[in-house]
Amino acid sequence: MPSDLAYWLISAPLKDGDPRVMLDEVARALDGSSPVGGWEIPELKAGTLSSLLNLSDSLPKVDAQFTQSVSKILDNLRSLLSGDDGKLSQHARVNDRPAEEWLMPSNGFWRWDKGRWGVGGKVGDVVDALTKEMNTIESTQKQKAQSYALVKGSLNNIQRKRTGNLSQRSLLEVVKKEDLVENSEFLETLVVAVPKNLEKEWQNKYERLTSMIVPRSSQRIATDDEYMLQTVTVFKKVREEFTHKCRENKFIVRDFKWDDSALEKQKRELKELEQQEKELWTELLRLSRINFSEAYQILAHLKTVRLFVESVLRYGLPADYAGVIVKPDPKTAMKTLRTLSTHYTYLASASRGPSTRQGKSGAATANTEDVGGEWASVMEAEFYDFVLFELPKVLDV
């Protein structure tokens, strides 16, 4: 059962030399239960049976790669737009139109892009060109996404330091210069994060955790929901021992040294990262929008190549085929499939004749006595009398 979360692309031998005849017949058969449109299948150079069987075996892998690339770009867009499907629908477009409008235009027919992919070319060459284009898209998308992720990570790290609790956050905006003993040869002020539920324990213990603690030197300078920030003055020689004793008692000595320029430096770095993140976000959004449009078009053209290859393998030459695209309604998808199967029963003899067997994705292959071994994977599944492939919907998932 093909997925009802995808468009169904169908190919069959052309009747009366007019693709519209096939489209009209399918539309009448479905009787308005599912939207349907025409799908142009170009006349490519099929090559030898062996080359077509090679393609039939390798194209599913290419298809999976292309589909994954489109999905990743869509995920990038969704992430950049914070999962807002309303905004996503404005950016996940094809040729600046909703994907469905591009796939099923008002004139009734999706057209092969002859200016870009030619007409009458060798099937293998077309697949190579499509693959090259998709690889370029993947590369540029990955590079830009990595650049954005690096800056976004640095920004998040600084913001986290500014907003965490007192045991973790940066103290540059919390501790003041006057809270510390400075320029002393023997003394230093330590800053300690004390859990609020251990406040009394701190007051009772801190002077006796080690020797050489300045009595009554502890002062509370800040508090949050979980911690209090206490200062305490000790002799420098006992710093390590005092820190160790604090750790044993669940008091956290923060690593902090006063720097007159540190706060301004942090603010400047934060501002620069915020500006850089904003610029890269805009660039990545624009690139993702362009790349999604290009990648979805490439995927649609690859599906069309697969329709052509499997139609030739099943129905033979000359390559005179027509296609339709169906948007199944999830509630009636099974009924739609049964209707299509009934409509195309006249193809049964063509697709299941004595010289052919059904193969992957609707393909028919030569008799297994003639072709086997490495081609066995092409012959292993059960399919319909018509060639059918799925093209993922953009937002109906």
Domains and CATH numbers, the chain: 6-152+276-392 (1.20.1460.10), 177-257 (3.30.70.100)
| Pairing of β 109-110 and β 36-39 | parallel
Q: Mind listing the pLDDT tens digit for each residue in 53-77? A: 999 999 999 999 999 999 999 999 9
pLDDT of residue 86 exceeding 80: yes
Token readout for 387 is 């060639």
Q: Mind listing the pLDDT tens digit for each residue in 200-213? A: 999 999 999 999 99
CA pair distance 180, 241, nearest whole angstrom: 20
pTM above 0.75, yes or no: yes
Cβ-count burial of 111 within 10 angstroms (0-12 exposed, 13-18 middle, 19+ buried)?
A: exposed
Q: Mind listing the pLDDT tens digit for each residue in 130-151? A: 999 999 999 999 999 999 999 9
Distance of CA 255 to the CA centre of its chain: 40
Q: What is the pLDDT of residue 261?
A: 72
* 207 vs 263, residue with greater confidence: 207
Token readout for 390 is 């799925």
pLDDT of residue 381 exceeding 70: no
pLDDT of residue 383 exceeding 80: no
